[in-house]
């Protein structure tokens, strides 16, 4: 086998679509290959990241990919209706530059929680990135959680 063929095989092996991307968590002292699949018709919980637990709850950021054929404005109305049904207080609900931002608070599973989320429409999917914290810890966790949510970008 020639060197040219070896280089070609190596290049193909490392450029294949199945080649894993690595997530690096310097502060926690580990890295891990991503577990990734295209979004499906039932939706996908693509990622969950958590801060250390406090008072029985770990503040977190998650990414969901939800099938949704409607517009972002329709998604906003639907979400506001669901928040109302759950008795949540909505502090922010706005669309700017094709990004829907919500901030809301309420009780769920015997916890008083605070959420900050951004929804982005791409094709027939909504990419929903949500931070959740206990209300009593929101001010302490807010900067880290909002920075994480706001860093999300579609490719």
Question: What are 41-77's pLDDT values in tens digits?
Answer: 899 999 999 999 999 999 999 999 999 999 999 999 9
Over residues 103-120, mean pLDDT: 97
- pLDDT score at 126: 98
What structural domains and CATH numbers belong to the chain?
43-150 (3.40.1000.10)
| Cβ-count burial 52-78 (b if 16+ within 10 Å, e if not) | eeeeebebbbbbbbbebeeeeeebbee
DSSP state of 8: H
Q: pTM for this one?
A: 0.84
Among 12-16, 18-22, 25-29, 96-100, which range has the highest average pLDDT? 96-100
104 pLDDT exceeds 70? yes
Could you tell me the pLDDT band of residue 10, with boundaries at 50, 70 and 90? very low
Is residue 37 classed as helix, strand or coil in its secondary structure?
coil
Q: Cβ(126)–Cβ(119) under 8 Å?
A: yes
Instruction: Write the burial class of residue 121 (CB in 10 Å: 0-12 exposed, 13-18 middle, 19+ buried).
Output: buried
Separation of alpha carbons 70 and 64, rounded Å: 17
Residues, the chain = 155
């Amino acid at each position: 086998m020639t060197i040219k063929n070896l280089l070609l095989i190596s290049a193909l092996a490392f450029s294949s679509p199945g080649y894993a991307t690595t997530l690096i968590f310097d502060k926690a002292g580990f890295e891990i290959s991503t577990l990734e699949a295209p979004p499906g018709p039932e939706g996908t919980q693509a990622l969950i990241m958590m801060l250390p637990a406090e008072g029985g709850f770990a503040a977190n950021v998650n990414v969901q990919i939800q099938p949704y054929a409607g517009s972002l404005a329709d998604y906003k109305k639907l979400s506001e209706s669901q928040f109302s049904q759950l008795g949540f207080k909505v502090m922010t609900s706005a669309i700017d530059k094709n990004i829907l931002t919500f901030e809301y608070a309420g009780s769920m599973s015997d916890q008083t929680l605070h959420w900050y989320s951004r929804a982005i429409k791409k094709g027939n999917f909504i990419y929903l990135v949500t931070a959740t914290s206990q209300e009593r810890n929101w001010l302490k966790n807010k900067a880290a959680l909002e920075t994480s949510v706001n860093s999300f970008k579609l490719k």
